[in-house]
A and B are shown apart, each in its own frame.
Chain A
Amino acid sequence: MAGPMKMRATLAGGNTEVRVLMTHPMTTAQSGQPLHFIQNITVKLNGSAVIEAEVSQAVSRNPVFSFRLKGGAKGDKIEVAWLDNKGESNKIETAVA
């Protein structure tokens, strides 16, 4: 089962700043263990996708991503979901504060 996620979304100067933490081993080929890493990240704003990201193995364990969305308003729903190479996934939703 996927570990917890945590997300913060705040308005700052007309933009929405989002910071999201994910629990994931992000195991690389170098470790000698089976590859296990997040491949896709999708960000949705009020239900519609605004970012579709592809992620490589070159990201640390328990990664944190931060990004800015243009505009946004208090109460807007932001959803971040990840999918890894084993088909496991997790998502979190938060309202812009």
Chain B
Amino acid sequence: MNRAFAGILLASLAVCAPAAAQEDVKKEIERYRQMVSEGSPAELFELEGEALWKKPQGPKQVSLEKCDLGVGPGVLKGAYAALPRYFKDADRVMDLETRLLHCMISLQGRSREEATQRVFGNADRPSEMESLSAYVAAQSRGMKMAPGEGHPKEKAAYELGRALYFQRAGSWDFACTSCHGEEGKRIRLQELPVLLKPENARSVVASWPAYRISTSGFITMQWRMNNCYQQMRMPEPAFGSDATVALIHFITVTGKGEIYRGPGNKR
């Protein structure tokens, strides 16, 4: 009788313990993130990005300092917080990286092939896009995320992004929702936010692009989309394609209104 009771008690403890431990782990991860954010290597990428922004490059040997990110040529303050948005000169919606590429081609006279040869770098050699993203995004710190929503093409991009979020395809028949469609899911310790919900999208939007601690590299939204498609075993999406821009736009609009705190830190 006593032994049976002890057995039940042990069983109930065993059920409770993981839940409590999980809370502790979450708290510790929070504390760790807090410590990292107070001295984030993301700042080093911002410095590299600033140097690249001002460096004359390409056949025309000009810098990106006249690049119009949507709030005027060369204006950086608040530019990232208002992206993605519709650009009349390109007649399409662009996110930060797609716009940077546009400036590399139109201002610096570089070819798309050359400028996109190495858009995703690594710890030993970050890509131009990564450092530039860090620099530009940092100039929107403390500002409200307000991507473009008024133009018909912006509305179309949002709808396309939303549709793609649910679109199952590939050899594993995966969609974004396969991982990011249900609350409480995670891969190892990484929580998988349901990006259809503003309360989840907001903190994501406020912290990307980001420094990734486990790889010591800087990661961008275009990289995130590319890597998710790779993990879903789908064909690699083209850099700055309508599909990746639409997904980024959809997520950003869903998380709009949040104060930008990035570039952030990821596990």
State the Cβ distance, B2 to closest chain A Cβ, in Å: 51
Q: Which of A73-94 contact B (CB under 8 A)?
A: none
Contact of B216 among A5, A60, A64, A66 (CB under 8 A): A60
Question: Are B216 and A6 in contact (CB-based, < 8 A)?
Answer: no
Q: How many A-B residue pairs have CB under 8 A?
A: 32
Contact of B48 among A3, A25, A64 (CB under 8 A): A3
Question: Are B47 and A4 in contact (CB-based, < 8 A)?
Answer: yes
B89 at the interface (CB under 8 A from A): no
Question: Are B47 and A62 in contact (CB-based, < 8 A)?
Answer: no
A1-34 Cβ-contact flags toward B at 8 Å (1 or 0): 0011110000000000001010101000000000
State the Cβ distance, B26 to closest chain A Cβ, in Å: 23
State the Cβ distance, B172 to closest chain A Cβ, in Å: 33
Contact A62 to B38, CB < 8 A, known contacts A4-B47, A4-B48, A25-B123: no
How extensive is the interface on chain A, given as a class?
10 to 19
A60-71 Cβ-contact flags toward B at 8 Å (1 or 0): 111010100000
B41 at the interface (CB under 8 A from A): yes
B10 at the interface (CB under 8 A from A): no
* CB closest residue in chain B, given A19: B39
Question: Are A19 and B38 in contact (CB-based, < 8 A)?
Answer: yes
Chain B residues positioned under 8 Å from A19 (CB to CB): 38-39
Question: Are A62 and B39 in contact (CB-based, < 8 A)?
Answer: no
Chain A residues positioned under 8 Å from B44 (CB to CB): 3-6, 21, 23, 62
* CB closest residue in chain B, given A22: B44
B128 at the interface (CB under 8 A from A): no
Complex Cα gap A60–B212 (Å): 13
Residues of A bordering B, CB below 8 Å: 3-6, 19, 21, 23, 25, 60-62, 64, 66
